Amino acid sequence: MSASAVITDWKKGKWKPVYWIEGEEEYFIDQVLHYAEHQILPASEAAFNLSVFYGRDAAWPEVINACKRYPMFAERQVVLIKEAQHMRDIDKLESYLEQPLSSTILVIGYKDKKLDSRRKFAKLIKEKGVIVSTKKLYEKDLRAFAESLIQDKGLSIQPLALSLLVDHIGSDMQRIENELDKLIVNLAERKLITTDDIERYIGISKEYNVFELQAALAARDTSRCLRIIRYFEANPKAGPIQLVLPSLYGFFSKVYMLYGIGGGDDKTIAATLGVNPFFIKDYRLATRNFDLKDTEKVLLLLHQYNLRSIGIGTTGVEDASLLRELVMKILL
């Protein structure tokens, strides 16, 4: 079961006595724990029927005692264990897990680790409750996550604006949500997030970013490439080389793939490449300006300069100088 499925069940009034939320992605673990702490019980009931423990300080007898209490003036109580990976003797909860109270909802957040499914402890949780195992999202999944989050908030977003947002923030999903909440406040009654909004409220330039650099390279527009690099040089946070090089490599890797696809309409090609159809024009333009041999050369250069950017074969060279040198070699 996923974190969102658990929350959906809770909204429908479906409860299990135990929920174990584990794994690599803190965002989903925190999302479930936050909902359990603030939404399952109304405020009037939470004062008497919500117990929150933290792993480093939690003693297993106290947790069991809390779980065995009956709710006061309510149908159920909620017991949370946050950061349970730090809890000593957590296995001692087995005695409670064997016969959990139906009136108690025990939610355990266990970050960065997973239960050994062979242990009795894990088998008890699976038998009596729900285990949610979270994973870090791959880069290719971040756009879909952000877009789904935007839709859940009743909004839509321009394709380029979405790319700017995700590419700038990366895999910090909590920050993506925080930035979206900030945008909502400023959008007022509007429902469409534009590149202007991203620039104005998040501080990402719509003219000087890695996607504009990709488009300029695809068009072999040397002067535009150099303007963007000068902007990066003056605003290091706008285009760190550690962000730019993987993005360019991803772009030209898809250009390379395009040579193997052959024909097809934009929608079919976009699905094959795993990109939004909005960007297909840039890939098609790149194939007109870079033949297969040129594209292979670009990929090799990007690999070489990625190594140089982390100090292999080069020391003391500014990122902007490396990027400028790379771009000129690509465009030669």
Q: Is pLDDT above 80 for 289? A: yes
Residue 118 — pLDDT band, cuts 50, 70, 90?
confident
Residue 129 confidence (pLDDT): 93
Range scoring the smallest mean pLDDT among 19-33, 213-227, 265-279: 265-279
Residue 170 confidence (pLDDT): 78
Nearest C-alpha neighbor of 324 from the set 241, 254, 251, 255:
241
Residue 167 — pLDDT band, cuts 50, 70, 90?
confident
Q: What does the alpha-carbon distance between residue 37 and residue 10 come to, in Å, rounded to a whole number?
A: 12
Residue 123 confidence (pLDDT): 92
Nearest C-alpha neighbor of 41 from the set 9, 4, 3, 74:
74
Residue 266 — pLDDT band, cuts 50, 70, 90?
confident
CA quadruple 197, 202, 208, 214: dihedral sign: negative
Domain 3-134 in this protein, CATH class = alpha beta
Residue 80 confidence (pLDDT): 97
Task: Supply φ then ψ for residue 197, to 5 degrees.
Answer: -65, -40
Q: Is pLDDT above 80 for 313? A: no
Domain limits, the chain:
3-134, 139-202, 210-331
Range scoring the smallest mean pLDDT among 182-186, 255-259, 287-291: 182-186
**Fold agreement between 139-202 and 210-331:** no
Residue 5 confidence (pLDDT): 93
Residue 317 confidence (pLDDT): 82
Q: Is pLDDT above 80 for 78? A: yes
Nearest C-alpha neighbor of 101 from the set 32, 15, 34:
15
210-331 topology per CATH: Zinc Finger, Delta Prime; domain 3 (1.20.272)
Residue 104: both structure tokens together: 């108690």
Q: Residue 215 burial (CB < 10 Å; 0-12/13-18/19+)?
A: buried
Residue 77 confidence (pLDDT): 97
Q: What percentage of the chain reaches a pLDDT higher than 90? A: 65
Residue 116 — pLDDT band, cuts 50, 70, 90?
confident
- pTM for the full predicted model: 0.73
* Coil, strand or helix at 104: strand
Residue 171 confidence (pLDDT): 79
DSSP secondary structure, 135-153, as one string: -PPPHHHHHHHHHHHHHHT
Residue 112 — pLDDT band, cuts 50, 70, 90?
confident
What CATH number has the domain spanning 139-202?
A: 1.10.8.60
Q: Say which residues have a Cβ less than 8 Å from residue 310's Cβ, sequence separation at least 6.
A: none
Residue 232 — pLDDT band, cuts 50, 70, 90?
very high
Q: What percentage of the chain reaches a pLDDT higher than 70? A: 100
Q: What average pLDDT does the segment 4-32 reach?
A: 94
Residue 20: both structure tokens together: 């174990």
The pLDDT tens digits for 185-204 are 888 889 999 999 999 998 88
